[in-house]
Structure 1
């Protein structure tokens, strides 16, 4: 009976079916069914990745798959949501329709599904004569009226970030042979972002989002949506030991390069101690880098000498 299936469905049954969760109905129908708890709201996010735009042709296939999933999980984390499931569309040249490629791709997804407690709900597989294109839509849940938004930052809030900033941007420079990645750490951070799920900050932070297009640019988005200003201090932005070894001449790359997938949060001063407690519980570092002001459309970044920094570009643009 297996051999009577058209090739696409053979691949789905052999490689994709193992990723399917309960709502996917064993991938036997054209849509999924999920139950929605009335105390929660659904959070939906979608991202696409295109060969030679978001990843290189020779990148490990399993890491391409894992980065695709993790970028979407980071969007859920930015709203304080818990993952529920995801939809996946894969558009491939014919040379990718082989057992080895699909096994590597799905093994990568399977590994992260277990790590982040999420499963596939459905999707589509199509032929593309030119390059690899992926699209993933992630679904999450958050208690009603508790989602972190970009538009609720208040003057006086502290500006905080998780983890370290700029590693992935430097990792990309390494892959382009522009700098040396001494131990492979920076390249790994580019290939495999760490979505900051698990921080319980929906009752603590006023505003939040993930950092994907660069710290400066994404902080500008948040400030604009909240109609506030922002002041940050470059020497307070957390950098990894590996980034520090690269040198201060690459600081602008770290602040504007993108692909961090860390969280950007504004937290009122009276709740900072609660944020620190949650940071310790989740084992996710939180660092204060500045504060919000009432000067709408003003974003100032000071260097270590308290001089106002200017940037050639503030971050990644898709257009």
Structure 2
């Protein structure tokens, strides 16, 4: 079964509180109306086997774990306030590792004014981490992945592909950008928002599936790629393969209704947001454009690492889909 099918199976066997506003998959966080105040809650689990986060730099690992957990609340239009963690440490780990890991986590929490309330600990062969965060939704108006049926533009907060590049070449995981300040600007203008925890193409596919009556046109010439990805493309590996892989950057992609107006345009440009496409209400599908022309349509979800027999088969599936979708239209 696919991951989404497992989630649906589990959810169907449990009661859903009537105070919960969002339906399955509709929002990066879970939204509850508690006595008239909207709260956003999220829980994420991370491991070196699935997420491929490297741990040679414990401080960066801690910062990335906190950033990845908080990202869901930022995408939902909420202010992170309370944090809890389940931390499994490698057997024989030393005090310095724990101090540096904790320093990375606490640094990110301090940046957004979020407090660690408690958690649980354990030991195993490899580290594992579960992060929980909750916070109030700004103005009681959460952002979801569902957009209004009207023309929109699609924007991104940063570059893509570096996490997948690192995972493929067994290099150190890059430090993720905490988009807290950007999220406050996004909230003022966005109609919908999602993070790229599973990579850019995974996020685009989810938005397409959740808004099936909309036509997404992604301008590949405008998608900002990490420098490593462009170098890889020059050596013959499709650049788009690094957008299809499941190692995400935890950037935010968001939709803005047209016409935006000069004030909104200036606000988004001031935070260095990049316009990467348009969304139309005249037809449906997920299309990719290059040099002003549509070159392909994405008709199935990106390969999932949990559904492939091993890492090598997963990599080949990603490269195969990149070639099928983009062929000779590689970014150079």
Normalised to the residue count of structure 1, the TM-score between the two structures is 0.74
Aligned match of 2:44: 47
**Per-residue deviation, 1:40:** 4.3
Q: 8 Å contact 2:146–2:210 — kept in the other structure?
A: yes
Q: What's the counterpart of residue 8 of structure 1?
A: none
**Cα deviations by residue, 1:20-48 (Å, 9 ceiling, x for unpaired):** xxxxxxxxxxxxxxxx9977421111111
Q: Indicate the residue corresponding to 1:169 in structure 2.
A: 164
Provide the secondary structure at the position in 2 that maps to 1:103: helix
Q: Are 1:191 and 2:174 matched, yes or no?
A: yes
| Counterpart residue number, 2:128 | 133
CA distance in 2, matches of 1:251, 1:57: 23
Closer, same or farther in 2 for the Cα pair 1:173/1:317, shift >3 Å?
closer
TM-aligned CA deviation for residue 222 of structure 1 = 1.3
2:255 paired residue among 223, 246, 266: 266
1:77 aligns with 2:66: no
Q: Report the counterpart of residue 279 of structure 1 in structure 2.
A: 268
Q: 1:289 to 1:170 in 2, by over 3 A?
A: same
In 2, Cα distance between the equivalents of 1:316 and 1:191?
A: 21
Match of 1:123 in 2: 119
Q: Judging changes above 3 Å, is the alpha-carbon distance between structure 1 residues 272 and 136 closer, same or farther for their aligned structure 2 residues?
A: farther
Which one of 289, 295, 301 corresponds to residue 276 of structure 2?
289
1:109 aligns with 2:105: yes
CA distance in 2, matches of 1:153, 1:318: 33
Question: Equivalent residues in 2 for 1:201-216 (5 A)?
Answer: 201-216=186-201
Alpha carbons of structure 1 residues 286 and 52: separation in structure 2 relative to 1, 3 Å: same
Q: Which has the higher contact order (CA 8 A, sep 6+)?
A: 1
Q: Are residue 60 (structure 1) and residue 57 (structure 2) matched?
A: yes
Instruction: Figure out how many residues of one structure are paired with residues of the other and give that number.
Output: 268
* Cα offset, 1:139, TM superposition: 1.4
The 3 A distance-change label for structure 1 pair 56 and 163 is: closer
Deviation (angstroms), 1:285 = 1.6
Structure 1 runs of 4+ with >6 Å offset: 36-39, 310-313
The CA deviation string for residues 133-180 of structure 1, in whole angstroms up to 9 with x for no partner, is 11001112223442111012434111111111222222323435xxxx
Q: Is 1:238 aligned with 2:224? A: yes
Larger mean CA deviation between 220-229 and 61-70 belongs to 220-229
CA radius of gyration, larger in: 1
Query: For structure 1, which segment, 298-307 or 78-87, has the greater mean C-alpha deviation from structure 2 after superposition?
Result: 298-307
**For residue 300 of structure 1, what is the aligned residue in structure 2?**
287
RMSD: 2.8
Gaps of 5+ in 1: 1-35, 177-186
2:208 aligned to which of 223, 246, 250: 223
